[in-house]
A and B are shown apart, each in its own frame.
Chain A
Amino acid sequence: MVNAHIRTEKLNLWFSEKHVLQDVNIPVYDKNITALIGPSGCGKSTLLRCFNRMNDLIPEAKIKGKVFLNEQNIYEPRIDVTRVRTKVGMVFQRPNPFPKSIYNNIAYGLKIRGKKKSVINETVEKSLKESWLWDEVKDRLNESALSLSGGQQQRLCIARALANSPDIILLDEPTSALDPQSTAKIEELCMELKKKVTILIVTHNIAQAGRISDYTAFMYLGDMVEFGETKRCSPFQKINGPKRI
């Protein structure tokens, strides 16, 4: 069994009175893709946002339980949230590049940490190569990131997250706003990236989870009802026919 980079222990979350996550225990294994699936409103995006403490932004959210990142509970009071967020990158549902140049989008995470210019230049190129965007944008790094297509913007957001050299990347339905071709490209990219980083992806699309993930967690009404290797999970049994024992 591989190590779990990140795992939760009896994680509970309330929005005001509403109990959104109930005693969730989920491991996210190193250098694997774990998919979170389930119907709308089941709490999968909320669970994802617990891993980089983005739920801190919502004043009504109350969290109980533990989330371990490399055996360190990130909800301990003395934890530096900004450090957690550099170790845990995030890509959102809608591509959200800053209204800055392509270069400055990737450089953002490094600039705010006061990295040297030479390091930034190197990392920008490396991250863009890792997200398969380099050849498309290398001649126009100073153009606005918003001049890119939707699929390119989303890969830019992946590159921006990679520039922080995170241990794990959270993807929140990253292809739901994209066309099929761009979607396929992002899926392929995920398969490639898992050699270097751990990936946790929320998706509406069960077929997508089946295509790319190694592990799948099935959420329903704030409960994690099933977790296991994707090929053994029940939703895919139905797609692939009954399991032969």
Chain B
Amino acid sequence: MTKRELKQFIGVNALRLFIVVTALFLILFLYVIISKGGKMISWSFIFESPKKYMTEGGIFPAIVGTFWLTIISIGISLPLGVFTAIYMVSYGKPAWFVRFVRVAINTLAGVPSIIYGLFGLTVFVQLMKFDVSILAGSLTLAVLALPVMINASEEALRGVPQDFREASLALGATERQTILRVLLPTALPNILTGTIISIGRVAGETAPILFTAATFYTRRLPTSVMDEVMVLPYHIYALMTEGAHADKQVPIAYGTAVVLLALVLLVSAVAIIIRYNIRKKRKW
């Protein structure tokens, strides 16, 4: 083996080692969560309310809460993010304003999530008088997801070849028609990728909803967006820090973690299937 071949051999195997370590972490992570929480999973665990100060029963109210918070916050931040990105990409005037917006977005992206929680408490809960509710929590999460949404959408729109825009305009289309019929449909799969990432982030966040949406314990399901709800991540936190029956609460916490993982996976899977179908129709 020559020196160059030896270097190649060492290099490739070092890379192999790294990917094995990464994979190990991932597998270990899933193993720990599922081995500790998997046995809790049953129909009654998923579809029943907690009983006896959360030492028995299921987590259905928390699943419903997390579901609504995720859906509504994405429903708010997706259009906001996409329209903002369209403006920045297609019009971008005045330049100083767009620059200002971009700096603001990047700053927002770096803010710790607990600060979003305080912001939501001040603005949505107190100032706008939404109280602790699904609405206030969704809005707070929407603000949290917005930077990711805008950046992903802007990236996706800029990725559409300039050729398509010129072709559309040269056929006598207006700028609006070009955006709606060419730019957006072409960028949609990549916008959805950004959405998938946001779903995972939003569903798992605890801090922003701590003061804005989450309640410690309720057996009731929400009937409107003005209700406070149980949510999965906060339920885990509560089980691990409150109460006197750790031996009964800890397994429920791990079971809840499994459900949260599965829920995020499920919602993401739906988005991935939608994206796959769009891509199949318009490959280039």
Contact = CB atoms under 8 A, between A and B. Distances in A.
Interface of A: 52, 54, 57, 82-86, 89-90, 92, 94, 96-100, 108-109, 111-113, 144, 146, 157, 160-161, 164
- 7 closest A-B pairs (Cβ-Cβ)? A86-B172, A96-B163, A99-B284, A85-B172, A90-B170, A109-B171, A99-B282
A67 B283 CA distance: 39
Contacts of B167: 92, 96-98, 157, 160
Contact of B163 (A83, A94, A100): A94
A89 B171 CA distance: 7
Given A54-B169, A92-B166, A108-B168, A99 B174 contact: no
A56 B175 CA distance: 12
Interface residues of B, number: 20
A86 B172 CA distance: 5
Contacts of B186: 98-99
B170 A89 contact: yes
B171 A86 contact: yes
B182 interface: yes
Given A82-B174, A164-B172, A144 B181 contact: no
A157 B281 CA distance: 20
B29 interface: no
18 contacts: A54-B166, A57-B169, A85-B171, A85-B172, A86-B171, A89-B170, A89-B171, A90-B170, A92-B166, A96-B163, A98-B164, A99-B164, A100-B282, A108-B168, A108-B171, A108-B181, A112-B171, A161-B170
B35 interface: no
A83 B172 contact: yes
Pick the most buried of A89, A96, A97, A109: most chain B CB atoms within 10 A of its CB: A96
Contacts of B283: 99, 144, 146
